[in-house]
Amino acid sequence: MKNILFAGLALMIFTGCTTTKGFKSDETKLYLKGNPTTGFSWILYIEDASIVDKEESSEYLGADGVVGAPSRFCYTIRSLKPGNTTLRFEYRRPWEKNPPLELHIYDISVETDGKLLIQERTED
């Protein structure tokens, strides 16, 4: 009797994990400009990190040896599971309490097939 109960529980857990059948991870890239030599950087907050993942990279845009030249920051956003979340990018010095110089907010929706839908909005 215990084996049958255990098998039923295992089946319930297994079928609960298969809700993403047909899910194929999607990705998109977001680009932001900044100047890390000034101490400013983009700080990213993800409302629900179980829905999307991110990978960061940057590219220096100035000539060699030029101090204060801008950089381009690339954020690859990848869908992990269906749902909705928000990305908030704040351009600020991490050690200061001042409001960010720039703010970008993106509403993210991941469909059941994994497709990413991203819309930028302004904060009210």
Distance, in Å, from the CA atom of 97 to the CA atom of 109, rounded to the nearest integer, reads 31
Domain range enclosing 100? 22-121
- 112: domain CATH number? 2.60.40.2020
Number of domains in the chain: 1
Strand 41-46, strand 27-34: pairing: unpaired
pLDDT digits (tens, 9 = 90+) for 64-112: 666 677 888 999 999 999 999 999 999 999 999 999 999 999 999 999 9
Q: Exposed, middle or buried by CB within 10 Å (0-12, 13-18, 19+), for 58?
A: middle
In a domain, 10, yes or no: no
In a domain, 98, yes or no: yes
Instruction: List 57's β-bridge partners, or say none.
Output: 74
- Residue 2's pLDDT is 42
In a domain, 9, yes or no: no
In a domain, 81, yes or no: yes
In a domain, 7, yes or no: no
pLDDT digits (tens, 9 = 90+) for 7-51: 333 333 333 333 457 899 999 999 999 988 888 999 999 999 999
